Amino acid sequence: ELNFWLGLAISLLAAGITYGTGILFASIGEIFAERAGVLNVGIEGMMLMGAVTAYLLAYRTGNAWLGLGAGVLVGGLMALLHAVVTITLRADQVVSGLALALLGSGLSAVIGAPLVEVRTASRLPEFPIPGLAAIPVLGPIFFDHNVIVYAGLLAAPLAWWYIYRTRPGMELRAIGEYPAAADALGINVIRQRYLYVVFGGMMAGLGGAALSLAITPLWIEDMTAGQGWIAVGLVIFAGWDPMRAAFGSYLFGAIRRLPLDAQNLPIFLAAPQLGYFMNMLPYLFVILLMLISARGNMRRRIGAPAALGQAYVREER
């Protein structure tokens, strides 16, 4: 029995890291965009477009890496459109993001319709790290994954280091907190916001591509299943901190896998509906976070960037 529970725990933790990778990339990208003061709720559409583009190109060319690059590029281009609308034209950031989410959802369904039955597209390789993958317990959890999963494990600490330990990271935090003061110090607020919004879109595209090329290597309509919205909520949960976002992403991945791995447990056999409830929990959690963060005083308490969602007009500083 002890071996059963240990095996279940190892399986859940390993699956959490795998299934949380796509959300992690999207969350990190959104952290950078929001730290720069621009809210992007269009992540779901960018992830879907990244996923379908990556899968289409991997299928047509037989090269998964080419597909991965295309997914990243498409996410960046969609984010560039969001940047033009919100930074240059100063349109409402929520409305623009929702439009992109709907655009990505509809367009990906049209582009991906011929790919639903395709199962022969090239995929990113699995790479058990020699020696480390054989370590009991830790090996299967951390060192026996797809290459894109390792990139996710590195992305969070690198993003944390950039934001909190480098001068560009300090400038990033400045333009999200008090852009007028940053501008007075010679920081080009508009250019920086463009840069980080596009980077955020590229990370969302990467998250989508990771789904279709590695995590669940296929294409089905709306395959993200709301993970883009989960990423937006995770940013709030993480307090705009990449390491906390990694914890939340992997936790979400483990919760999604729990009903599958634990379906033979007595509690799940006695109450099959419990699995559906477990799958619903992360989405309920995100809705709660969004409601809480909508209040201005609560946003200040949880550490939201002070200028988040506000257009910057240099002449009005």
Task: Among 1-10, 224-233, 267-276, name the most confident range.
Answer: 224-233
pLDDT at 283: 75
- Of 66, 53, 62, the C-alpha closest to 122 is 62
At 9, is the pLDDT very low, low, confident or very high (cuts 50, 70, 90)? confident
pLDDT at 160: 97
Question: What percent of the chain is modeled with pLDDT above 70?
Answer: 89
At 128, give phi and psi (nearest 5°). -65, 125
DSSP label of 129 = P
Question: What percent of the chain is modeled with pLDDT above 90?
Answer: 66
* d(C-alpha 38, C-alpha 217), whole Å: 32
Cα–Cα–Cα angle for 44, 46, 48, nearest 5°? 70
pLDDT at 263: 67
Length of the chain measured in residues? 317
pLDDT in tens, 216-241: 999 999 999 889 999 998 898 888 99
pLDDT at 5: 73
Contact between 36 and 194 under an 8 Å Cβ cutoff? The reply is no
pLDDT in tens, 132-145: 888 988 899 999 99
